[in-house]
Amino acid sequence: MSQKLTFVSKVQERATTLAQVADLVSDLVSVYFDRGYDSGGSDPVIDADLAALGITAANLTAFITLGQQLQNFLDNAAVATADYDATLNTMRTDV
């Protein structure tokens, strides 16, 4: 019984982490559009803004798209397929 409880406890921990990450990403997507950082916005992020980070505006846009699609997935809406793993790997700073 203790192995089952340990397993389910781990599942609960990961579900909590996933929900927290989804909330954080959703917040970033909202800020991106609210501040007009999108290409059609009032203050779009351009490549020069990101040069010090080693990414492009297209990389940022791809991450925002990933966030939107994650929300679609969680809301049972249609999800556009793409290589979101590549998007994450482009944006990562831990490896």
- Token output for 73: 């997935």
Contact 38, 80 (CB under 8 A): no
Is residue 1 within a helix (H) or strand (E), and if so which, with residue range? none
pTM assigned to the model: 0.92
> Residue 1: which pLDDT band, with cuts at 50, 70 and 90?
confident
Work out the end-to-end distance of the chain between its first and last CA atoms, rounded to an integer number of angstroms: 38
Could you report the per-residue pLDDT of 18-72, keeping only the tens digit for each? 999 999 999 999 999 999 999 999 999 999 999 999 999 999 999 999 999 999 9
Could you report the per-residue pLDDT of 68-92, keeping only the tens digit for each? 999 999 999 999 999 999 999 999 9
Contact 28, 67 (CB under 8 A): yes
- Token output for 81: 């397929």
